């Protein structure tokens, strides 16, 4: 299989069909933005769920729901119109290394951004150029924009990745996939129209990296930005318009089947 391009495409297309469907949603962090219908609620809930996405998926989902409950299950309204007293109930929140200090900064950013923009999409697209092949400029620009407020907690910077730091930007790339990709399967939302699915970078988590290496797709041993670009470049040869559709195949195979050989 490793040397047979046609067989590999058939295999991956079959796995996409298997995992790109609504039955995938309830066990995945994407279930969090699916709790909402309002675009801004989906953006904020999805962003937090993506940022929390390391470790056990059930824990990620539960902690995301815990935070949303503290926000009265109205994240946009909370972020834009909260009072100082409202913020007090967030002070005990923690998920792994993400704590209340980080949370309060995130909320400050959302309040600032949504006071000037109708969607979180512009936080990424403002930094893109018309002919950009990928979202690299969007991710670099977003990092600097996100940390443009005064009095930035130094510890909070570790929770937002950037290609400039040679990070694979797994969680941000996953969030962008949720917001940008669109098809008739009902998993991703496709509500952002100013980024093309063709520009997306595949989220490179441990499962995707492991399966990609086993299939001979990925040669780079490190989970960094170069690896994310290498993987996505190959996936474009399978589907130029929508390379990140294969995130379903690679992640699903890795986490659901948990096999060492294929």
Average pLDDT over residues 100-119: 98
β-partners of residue 208 are: none
Looking up tokens 């990296």 gives 209
| CB atoms inside a 10 Å sphere around CB 207 | 18
Orientation angle between helical segments 39-51 and 100-114, nearest 10 degrees = 150
All residues at 6 or more sequence positions from 164 whose CB lies less than 8 Å from its CB, including other chains:
140, 143
Average pLDDT over residues 66-70: 98
All residues at 6 or more sequence positions from 121 whose CB lies less than 8 Å from its CB, including other chains:
43, 179, 192, 194, 195
Is the predicted pLDDT of residue 3 greater than 90, yes or no? no
Q: What's the predicted TM-score (pTM) here?
A: 0.95
CA angle 81/87/108 to nearest 5° reads 60
Q: How far is CA 63 from CA 23, 70, 96, 161, in A?
A: 21, 11, 10, 21
Average model confidence (pLDDT) across the chain: 95
Is the predicted pLDDT of residue 189 greater than 80, yes or no? yes
């Amino acid at each position: 299989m490793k040397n047979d391009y046609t067989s590999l495409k058939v295999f991956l297309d079959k796995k996409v069909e298997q995992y790109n469907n609504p039955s995938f949603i309830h066990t995945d962090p994407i279930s969090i933005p699916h709790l909402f219908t309002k675009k801004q609620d989906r953006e904020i809930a999805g962003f937090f769920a993506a940022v929390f996405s390391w470790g056990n998926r059930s824990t990620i989902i539960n902690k995301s729901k815990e935070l949303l409950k503290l926000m009265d299950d109205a994240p946009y309204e909370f972020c834009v119109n909260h009072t100082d007293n409202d913020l007090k109930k967030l002070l005990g929140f923690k998920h792994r290394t993400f704590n209340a200090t980080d949370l309060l900064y995130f909320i400050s950013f959302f309040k600032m951004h949504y006071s000037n923009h109708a969607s979180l999409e512009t936080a990424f697209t403002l930094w893109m150029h018309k002919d950009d092949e990928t979202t690299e400029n969007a991710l670099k620009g977003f990092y600097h924009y996100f940390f443009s407020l005064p009095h930035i907690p130094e510890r909070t910077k570790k929770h937002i990745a950037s290609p400039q730091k040679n990070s694979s930007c797994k969680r941000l790339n996953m969030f962008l996939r949720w917001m940008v990709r669109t098809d008739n399967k009902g998993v991703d939302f496709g509500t952002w129209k100013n980024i093309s699915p063709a520009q997306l970078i595949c989220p490179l988590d441990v499962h995707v990296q492991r399966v990609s290496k086993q299939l001979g797709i990925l040669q780079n041993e490190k989970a960094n930005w170069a690896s994310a670009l290498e993987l996505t470049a190959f996936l474009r040869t399978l589907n130029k318009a929508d390379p990140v559709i294969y995130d379903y195949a690679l992640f699903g195979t890795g986490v659901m089947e948990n096999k060492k050989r294929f």
